[in-house]
């Protein structure tokens, strides 16, 4: 629900949660928002070697359409037909096992400071949701999302 709300609000192609598999060297998309059915990548992004995911390095990445890219990111952008990405590492069991990613695949997007702050807030809330699975807490956090977007506009 949060990925859909954020994706629609920012008019993104995809919002995905990518998790390391139990093997440790592979990753799967476990949750996805896609702007349309043809934009969906969840089926093609299963059992992907982490070595092919340049953002799976423990750091956050904010890459606009006009950003310089390393060779690894250039190859990944080309393969996935990406224009811009924001990727945040997420902790689970005291180590980074997941990434929350916001992808633009249609338009040449240059992330604004406001968008970066908004997505960072969403990442913070998603981390809380992963740590605390009580239903009452989930409902209260979902109510916060519209308030964050008010500050964004």
pLDDT in tens, 8-30: 999 999 999 999 999 889 999 99
| Helix, strand or coil, per DSSP, at residue 106 | coil
What tokens does 98 get? 């997941």
What is the C-alpha end-to-end distance of the chain, expressed in Å?
Answer: 20
CA of 24: how far to CAs of 52, 68, 97, 98, in Å?
13, 29, 9, 11
Using a 10 angstrom Cβ sphere, with 0-12 exposed, 13-18 middle and 19 or more buried, the burial of residue 130 is middle
**H helices present in the chain, as ranges:** 2-10, 71-80, 113-131, 135-152
**Pairing verdict, β 14-20 and 84-92:** unpaired
Band of pLDDT at residue 148, cut at 50, 70 and 90: very low
Q: pLDDT of 131-146, one tens digit each?
A: 444 344 444 444 444 4
What's the order of all strands across the beta sheet hosting 84-92? 48-49, 26-34, 14-20, 95-104, 84-92, 61-63
What tokens does 31 get? 């949750």
What tokens does 137 get? 């807490």
Nearest Cα residue to 86 out of 108, 102, 68:
102
Torsion 22-92-71-32 (CA) sign:
positive
- pTM for the predicted model, two decimal places: 0.80
Band of pLDDT at residue 103, cut at 50, 70 and 90: very high
């Amino acid at each position: 629900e949060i990925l859909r709300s954020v994706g629609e609000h920012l008019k993104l192609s995809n919002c995905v949660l990518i998790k390391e598999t139990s093997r440790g060297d592979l990753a799967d998309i476990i949750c996805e928002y896609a702007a349309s059915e043809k934009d969906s990548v969840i089926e093609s992004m299963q059992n992907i070697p982490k070595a092919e995911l340049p953002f799976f390095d423990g750091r956050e990445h904010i890459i606009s359409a006009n950003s310089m890219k390393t060779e690894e990111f250039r190859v990944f952008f080309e393969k996935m037909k990406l224009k811009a990405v924001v990727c945040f590492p997420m902790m689970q069991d005291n180590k980074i096992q997941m990434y929350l990613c916001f992808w633009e695949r249609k338009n040449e997007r240059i992330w604004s400071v406001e968008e970066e702050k908004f997505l960072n807030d969403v990442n913070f809330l998603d981390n809380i949701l992963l740590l605390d699975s009580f239903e009452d807490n989930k409902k209260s956090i979902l109510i916060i999302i519209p308030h964050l977007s008010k500050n964004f506009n």
